[in-house]
Structure 1
């Protein structure tokens, strides 16, 4: 008989347009019979939300994002926890962490964990963190305070911007951890003696939402100024997405090629990217759409000719795992051009089902774009091959089955 324990899922923010993969997983677990309560460390900032967020039934509890915003809530939690058995072990752990990470954020995680432990929504029986950096810190602290075990899903930035000492300690404490790319999986396994408790689990795609696109794609070649090739990218305008690289690549395309570039997504760097496009002389060829809901993004996948994403490793070590937008675009037989960063080569193989170029290399990216623009038959062949790979290997139901097995196996051990 399967076991279902009330699980508190700790998230950095919810809902978020840029984290569809998490929402997809939460809905999949609910449909598999899991009883979830979502614990968000931040309130939403996106003006829109995906339809999938409305399908998730779990209650959402918001912790104080900044402790000074809700001082009475934090103080009540502190004094209520003072006499609890877990308080001294938690304080000991906190001071050990603080000596290595003397930041305000460390105090914030302690305060959020105390509030979570004090209020303890819906009589939770298990803790699960999405992201192994700050959400896992709150989760680990709450686990020490309450004695409730925890598990963790790690992704990309959280792995590569966390110090090794912190990852090692969290991997030793979590009952198990999963991550979504082989590079992240191998890095995490190098940092722990409990290698068997680290698992690789691709998010995959809810293929029911991304049905096969049966309409014939265009045969545009970039030769007609009245009918330019449509190049699409979806992603937040942040350093690791490499949009400055992409703009320089677009600017270096031959003047004889006719194209338009559409960007979907928010992000702080838009304020720099738009002037850069003007400086490069391509501003009039670009449409900046801002953040859009999933069904609108799907329509753009279906109307575009090429998808491009110039992933790179940011100065602070941040990088993508396997960007979900590449999986989504590929599911619509849309040819993708990207870089050999992190998990991208786990989906795309250059010349077989897409174009894969080195990061930080605008000229190589421009060469791939030029080929894709001029050769519609090649675009179609590579796009169809990419769709076959997604539908054969990236169905999110496989991930849900794997997670269900991991949870149930651990819950049986703790009966």
Structure 2
């Protein structure tokens, strides 16, 4: 089996990143040995049961360099004696000249701590997300003269400058040995920027269905019955919940609807005010961050899952959100948008409905699905079937396991 490696993540644990926890649990089960190095301390007050299954030790780097200056200076003094420090410093200075920002300085300080404190026997670094975590992993790997690889997801691909991605994908001692990404949409973009496109793998997260209860036996909802809508996602621009609220306000009075939202985020207060001003706040339940059992319970109790993803003003966008597959696992009809890689799982009219992200289009789609419950349930059945046959977790874990083995042997 592979030698030991270190996993670099933005924060650990995070309720919104179950795909990372799922992957790491599977890699442990496949026999891999690793520690987790987190750039940030946890902010969620809850965890998923999945997090409790992971046995890997977790280490926290200084979130801000001024939090522990003595640790940072000790680490930099030790890092200067590492064989690749001069090369890493030169790479960082070149990056800093094009990105003169305190965050770039913090990345190098965190990399010094990581490189200095890595235990003996670590043969490689593996970063989740191609932006900050990959920068820290790259600088540290150059210092230690060990290989590194990454998994990219969504925001990190679309909001990072091309020059930085190209250099992280360079075919030299500073570039990643391999890169994985969870959508064909993202893989195509990375291969355009890579010196060696064959190093980029499309690895869908998939879903470990053993973690989920069997789907409920659903009967078609009566068109006259209340319509229970559910969304799960962070309250950020790219999720499109402002447009969904505007859509809900447009629904005809004949539809007796309620909407439950699960997730936290910076736009919570603004969205709550929007709902109040639209006169629909009484129909909405804001649950905040919830653990996996609560999410699944709400999916089983709902009639329609709605995720109105869109491209944010800064270019940020979803990849293929795992919550769509989780909804499909519970035979829950899906309404989403044809953004990014969502059509890789949902073919509109077959596995769910993909509307455009305007309030008018979302309202029309909700009305259609409310009026055609038998069709909605048939699409949910098709999505569940596709999930089981094409989006299982095992093939991706096998490919990633081989990449990590090759990198660290």
Q: TM-score range by the shorter chain?
A: over 0.9
Corresponding position: 1:374 with 2:371? yes
- SS of 2:26's equivalent? helix
> How many angstroms apart in 1 are the aligned matches of 2:243 and 2:216?
33
Alignment of 1:250-329 (within 5 A): 250-329=248-327
Show the counterpart of 2:178.
Answer: 176
- Following superposition, the deviation at residue 5 of structure 1 comes to 1.1
TM-score, normalising length from structure 2? Answer: 0.97
Distance (whole Å) between structure 2 residues aligned to residue 403 and residue 243 of structure 1:
34
Distance 2:70 2:276 in 1: 50
- Aligned counterpart, 2:70: 72
Does the aligned pair in 1 maintain the 2:152–2:182 contact within 8 Å? yes
CA contact (8 A) 1:40 1:62 kept: yes
Contact 1:263 1:288 in 2 (8 A): yes
Of 121-130 and 39-48, more deviation after overlay is shown by: 121-130
Q: Secondary structure at the match of 1:312?
A: coil
Per-residue deviation, residues 78-121 of structure 1 (Å, max 9, x unmatched): 11222333221111111100000000000100000000111113
Superposed, 1:12-411 pairs within 5 Å as 12-121=10-119, 123-172=121-170, 173-217=175-219, 219-221=221-223, 223-224=224-225, 228-359=226-357, 361-411=358-408
Change (3 A) 1:122 1:25: farther
* Contact 1:49 1:293 (C-alpha < 8 Å) held by counterparts: yes
Alpha-carbon distance between aligned partners in 2 of 1:268 and 1:81, rounded to the nearest angstrom: 37
- Where structure 1 has 5 or more consecutive residues not aligned to the other structure, the ranges are none
- Give the total of aligned pairs: 405
* Alignment partners' CA distance in 2, 1:116 and 1:310: 39
Shift in Å, 1:128: 0.3
Measure the CA separation in 1 of the matches of 2:332 and 2:107.
Answer: 42
CA distance in 2, matches of 1:404, 1:81: 30
| TM-score (structure 1 length as normaliser) | 0.96
Q: Following TM superposition, by how much is the alpha carbon of 1:214 offset from its aligned partner in structure 2, in angstroms?
A: 3.4
C-alpha displacement of 1:397: 1.4
Runs of 4+ with deviation above 4 angstroms: none
After superposition, give the CA deviation of every residue in 1:137-169 in whole Å (9 maximum; x if it has no partner).
000000110001101100000110100000001
